Structures are given as C-alpha cells and as structure tokens.
Structure 1
Amino acid sequence: MADEKPHFTAEIHIEAEPDAVWDVLMDYEALPEWSNAFQGTDKPMKEGEVSTAYFFNPATHQTIEFTHPVHVYEPKRRFGWSGKLGGGHHDRHIYEMLPHPEGGTIFRQSDGLYGKPSSIMTRMMEHSIDHTYKSFNKRLKARVESLYPKARKGE
C-alpha cells in the first residue's frame, strides 16, 4: 500500500503559517461550524494506531464513521489514514500543511480508491470525493484566514 500514488489531489494556498492551519484542523469542537466534511477523530491520532474519523455526509445530513489505521502522523505537518471502504476498495487519505516559499501554507489533501479495478462507479465516487475536498479546502482557508487575519499579506 505504501507505494500507491494518489488518484487525486486538492490543494490551496492559505495566508497563514502551517501551525495555524494545523490548530484549526485539530479544533474538533469547532469543525462542525465550518467543515462540510471532516468532523474530527475519536481520540488523538498516533501513527500505527487505529482511529475513528467522523465525516459529515451531505446526502443524509448525518455523520458517518470510518475506522482506519493511522499511517502517517507528523504534528503540525501531516496526518492520514488508510483502510477499507465499501465495494472492495480501500483509501489512503493524507492531509498536509506545507510552508509556501513566499509565506503562508499550501494545504493539500490526497486520496484515491484502490483495490478493485476502476469502474464508472469508482470514477463517480472519486469525482464526488474530489469535489468535497476542494470545497473543504476553501472552507478551511476562509476559517484560518478569519481567525488569523494578521497573517494575511499586507497586514
């Protein structure tokens, strides 16, 4: 699984330092106020341990759970998990906060559905996930920049 390349990546430039982006992502109590997807985990993450991640499902307006092993956890930099999904697939989802050379942060999510050969249904699911990630990234940017306004350029 370690050499699987992501099927899609969504990234955005946020005018704040990686620590600020991390802090907003780890504030699980506030996530439901702005996040259209990720709602937190059941406990602090640690690489190699199993964690349950919670996501808002816009189709049902309910929270869904995915219990996956955490395959990467580097505080203030990146975290992610992999595990079984439905339909004979598994994923490898990573959130990254990368310093931008001109200031701020590149926030990146990468993922893919692996396992069963690709089908029209797989591609439709990936398209939906990709759209959700891009929307999440825009909401994260707005949230971070509203909480850390002095971090924006020109201030």
Structure 2
Amino acid sequence: MSTSRRSAGLLLFRIVEGVGERDVEVLIGHMGGPFWAGRETAAWSVPKGEYGPEEDAETAARREFVEELGVPVPPGEWMALGESRQRSGKTVTVWALEAELDVASVVPGTFSMEWPRGSGVQREFPEMDRFAWCTPELAAERLIVGQRVFVGRLRAQVLGTAASPDA
C-alpha cells in the first residue's frame, strides 16, 4: 500500500485598507538552503511541513508554524482553505488565521544537509530564510505554483471576491 506525502500549513493574513478598497496581505516565507538561494519567483511558501498518519493535519500545521517561525501560533479562529496537490504529488492542506506578526520577531528553524553535495560536510540552513507580508499579486508571483490557489481562496472567503488560481 502506497501512502502519498501530505503537508499542512497556516497562512497568516491581515486586512488592509487601500485607496477606496479593502484587501488582504499574507505572510509567506522564502525557502532556505542552497537550492533556493538567489531565487525569488516561485521560491516562497506558506509555513508548512509534512506529517504522517499518526498526526492530524491541524496539529501538524500548528507544529510546523512554530518550528518554521520560532514563535507561538497567534490566537484566533482558523479558516479552512482546503487542499491543493503540488507538482511533486504532495497534497497540501492550509488554514488561514487573521493576525499580526512582526517579522523581526521570527527565529526560523533549521535543517541539516550535505553541502556542497558529495563533500561529506553537513551544514545547517534555515528552513525559511526570510518572511514578508505580501499583497495577493506579489504572493502570486513569489509562491510556488501549487500554493497560489490558497491566496485566491482566502480572498474569496474574506472579501467575497471570485477565487482565481493565481491571486
């Protein structure tokens, strides 16, 4: 029996008032490590991570938020944004939470990998090396393709706008 890989995450958002219109900004993180260094487009992610059959998705999303940002999950009501299957075949489940977070307070978790490859040297890298509040348009450019749908779903739920895959 084959089990598919699953990830869960939490997308923080805040309501912003623009000139004559209301919108959201979302908090996303740039993926750390040498593969993503120097890349901006499709190199950012919702704070998320994998989980196994012994853990439910919401618990995994909470755990991964704390691991990746190094701060507690803010209080508030979680809003389900559903699932999306990424190109890698992984299924990602995301919730949204309206909250403020000062990105200067973030202390990202780390992972170890052999770098350079074949060197036998293990190095530590941040799971996410920086975080930013982004407009839906900027998030659509920065997020990896399989996660862009969550911003559209968030806007549809919060603002009552039509959800599109890219914003």
Shorter chain as denominator, the TM-score bin is under 0.3
**What TM-score do you get using the length of structure 2 for normalisation?**
0.25
